[in-house]
């Protein structure tokens, strides 16, 4: 896993480094060198600088480019007051690097590369002039654009913006930031690199899950094993209104594709006949249903349905009924293995006392999207999006569970520890994608811990979405396509 630092964490790490290991001047020069090494500069480069340390990084890069024989110019947006930046600017002038003070008639045409060194991780709020005009000009041209540390206009903690530089490459300095991944970030950053410039950080951090972490989950299997070795997994969902026969069978297939031993589809009797033609490898356990095709709470049936399961996914397409509230309450009070709650299961949980989570013997995973999470914690969607990590962290410090909060980048929290999953693409923005994700996660839960399964499942599901996006584009892919991609992704394990 890679470390991801919030603005406050990064500032603390910077300050420690300056106080104990190096000078600000040396750190800025290392930053400039890191950007220089991250891209093969060709032709004429314009470095656009602000008045903070991000501008200093740009000035350092300008001096390095000049020393290496490149054609470089500097566009200064504000008057400088920092002694460090003034010294770097003085050096640039001594090296005969052209320096321009911004005016409305500045000509941005004729450059091969733009470098955005305007605002760094300290930026908050709205973009104002002259930066607004500069960003619009940069974004209107097809010039290759590099942002230093983070794109000007992106909030480094939340990734939210109303206007930001569109970069072909963003070079993170020291560590990745949440704002490289969350909310709007992926629409502004085409390619992301990270260069550690000698800034240590051993305190609290967030983590980015990577493909190397996936290898710890999908290990080579022993010949001396059988279906019981990899777990019996239950998928408890469906209703007449949301019959989803194919969807439920796809959930079962997704779980099997990621390696569980047996899948059991637990569905209302009302839709059993429609499901049967689609489940070839899974078993079907019908539960009594009412005249509307919804589950009826029958303690004996529920007990039998979930008996012997090493992992259970509950809530996909169950609809909102009093009986489902009773069923979930019974499961929370009586099931003691790994339990994933998704979709209408989350909405049902929101109507119960959440202390049931803490009192349950089950190892619980919740997989809401932001609107479902909003209902669960009674906080507006807008407020959650302003600081999703905060709310995810607070929830798992209060409640004994793993939380997977869906978004452009998935946030997973367990006991307050934060993980980010950056795989995924617009091709997954279809009804039913979340259900397939639940199938993938619960399948891995059959033979792994809840937290490891959640991380691996989310990463793998997103990776399949990335492949679909490249193969078919973002319009034509459907959730079931993920299952086919899983076969290719896991064939070498």
**CATH number, domain at 399?**
3.40.1190.20
**What was the pLDDT predicted at 432?**
87
Domain boundary among 184, 206, 228: 206
- Lookup: tokens for 71: 């054609």
Q: Is residue 196 located within the same domain as residue 231?
A: no
Cα dihedral 357/360/361/364 (nearest 10): -30
Q: Is residue 345 located within the same domain as residue 331?
A: yes
Q: Is residue 180 located within the same domain as residue 251?
A: no
Domain boundary among 206, 230, 247: 206
**DSSP E strands: which ranges in 230-330?**
232-236, 262-268, 283-287, 311-314
* Spans of the chain, pLDDT less than 70: 243-246
Q: Are 348 and 373 in contact (CB under 8 A)?
A: no
Q: Is residue 110 located within the same domain as residue 159?
A: yes
Q: Is residue 187 located within the same domain as residue 68?
A: yes
In terms of residue numbers, what domain contains 321? 211-489
CATH of the domain at 120: 3.40.50.10260
Q: Is residue 94 located within the same domain as residue 56?
A: yes
Q: Are 40 and 27 in contact (CB under 8 A)?
A: no
Q: Which residues pair with 194 in a beta bridge?
A: 172
- Lookup: tokens for 341: 């709650």
Q: Is residue 33 located within the same domain as residue 68?
A: yes
Q: Is residue 93 located within the same domain as residue 185?
A: yes
Kind plus residue range of the DSSP H or E element containing 140: helix 131-140
**What is the C-alpha separation between 160 and 180, in angstroms, rounded?**
10
Domain total of the chain: 2
Count Cβ atoms within 10 A of the Cβ of residue 163 and give its class: 0-12 exposed, 13-18 middle, 19 or more buried: middle
Q: Is residue 259 located within the same domain as residue 389?
A: yes
**What was the pLDDT predicted at 1?**
95
**What is the C-alpha separation between 443 and 252, in angstroms, rounded?**
8
**What was the pLDDT predicted at 240?**
84
Q: Is residue 423 located within the same domain as residue 293?
A: yes
Q: What are phi and psi of 226, to 5 degrees?
A: -150, -175
Model confidence, pTM = 0.94
Q: Is residue 215 located within the same domain as residue 146?
A: no
What b-and-e string marks burial along 78-98, b requiring 16 or more CB atoms within 10 Å of the CB?
Answer: eebeeebbeebbeebeeeebe
Q: What is the DSSP letter of 271?
A: G
Q: Is residue 224 located within the same domain as residue 164?
A: no
Domain boundary among 175, 206, 237: 206
Diameter over CA atoms, the chain:
85
**What was the pLDDT predicted at 245?**
58
**What was the pLDDT predicted at 276?**
86
């Amino acid at each position: 896993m890679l470390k991801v630092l919030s603005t406050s964490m990064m500032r603390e790490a910077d300050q420690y480094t300056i106080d104990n290991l190096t000078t600000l001047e040396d750190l800025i020069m290392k930053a400039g060198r890191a950007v220089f090494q991250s891209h093969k500069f060709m032709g004429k480069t314009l470095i656009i600088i602000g008045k903070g340390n991000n501008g200093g990084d740009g000035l350092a890069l300008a001096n390095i480019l000049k020393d290496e024989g490149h054609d470089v110019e500097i566009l200064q947006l504000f008057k400088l007051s920092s002694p460090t930046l003034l010294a770097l600017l003085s050096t640039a002038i001594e090296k005969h690097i052209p320096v321009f003070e911004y005016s409305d008639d500045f000509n941005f045409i004729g450059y091969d590369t733009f470098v955005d060194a305007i605002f760094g991780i300290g930026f908050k709020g709205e973009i104002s002039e002259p930066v607004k005009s500069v960003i619009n000009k940069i974004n209107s041209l097809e010039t290759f654009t590099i942002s230093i540390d983070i794109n000007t206009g992106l909030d480094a903690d939340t990734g939210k913006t109303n206007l930001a530089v569109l970069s072909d490459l963003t070079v993170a300095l020291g560590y990745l930031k949440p704002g490289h991944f969350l909310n709007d970030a992926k629409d502004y950053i085409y390619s992301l690199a990270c260069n550690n410039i000698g800034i240590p950080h051993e305190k609290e951090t967030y983590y980015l899950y990577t493909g190397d972490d996936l290898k710890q989950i999908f290990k080579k299997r022993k010949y001396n094993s059988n279906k019981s070795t990899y777990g019996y997994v239950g998928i408890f969902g469906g209703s007449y209104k949301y019959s989803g026969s194919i969807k439920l069978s796809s959930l079962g297939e997704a779980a099997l594709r990621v390696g569980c031993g047996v899948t059991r589809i637990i569905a209302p009797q009302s839709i059993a006949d429609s499901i049967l033609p689609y489940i070839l490898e899974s078993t079907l356990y019908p539960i009594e249903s009412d005249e509307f095709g919804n589950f009826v709470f029958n303690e004996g049936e529920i007990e039998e349905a979930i008996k012997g399961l090493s992992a259970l996914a509950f809530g996909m397409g169950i609809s909102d009924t009093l009986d489902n509230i009773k069923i979930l309450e019974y499961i929370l009070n009586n099931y003691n293995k790994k339990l994933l709650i998704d979709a209408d299961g989350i909405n049902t949980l929101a109507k119960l006392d959440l202390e049931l989570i803490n009192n349950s013997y089950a190892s619980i995973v919740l997989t809401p999207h932001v609107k479902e999470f909003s209902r669960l914690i009674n906080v507006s969607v807008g407020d959650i999006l302003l600081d999703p990590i905060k709310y995810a962290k607070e929830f798992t410090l209060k409640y004994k569970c793993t939380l997977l909060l869906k978004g452009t980048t998935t946030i997973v929290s367990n006991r307050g520890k934060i993980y980010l999953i950056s795989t995924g693409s617009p091709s997954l923005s279809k009804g039913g994608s979340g259900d397939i994700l639940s199938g993938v996660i619960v399948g891995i839960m059959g033979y792994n811990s809840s937290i490891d399964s959640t991380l691996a499942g989310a990463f793998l599901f997103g990776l399949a979405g990335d492949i679909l996006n490249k193969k078919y584009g973002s319009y034509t892919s459907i959730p079931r396509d993920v299952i086919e991609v899983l076969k290719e992704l896991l064939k070498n394990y």
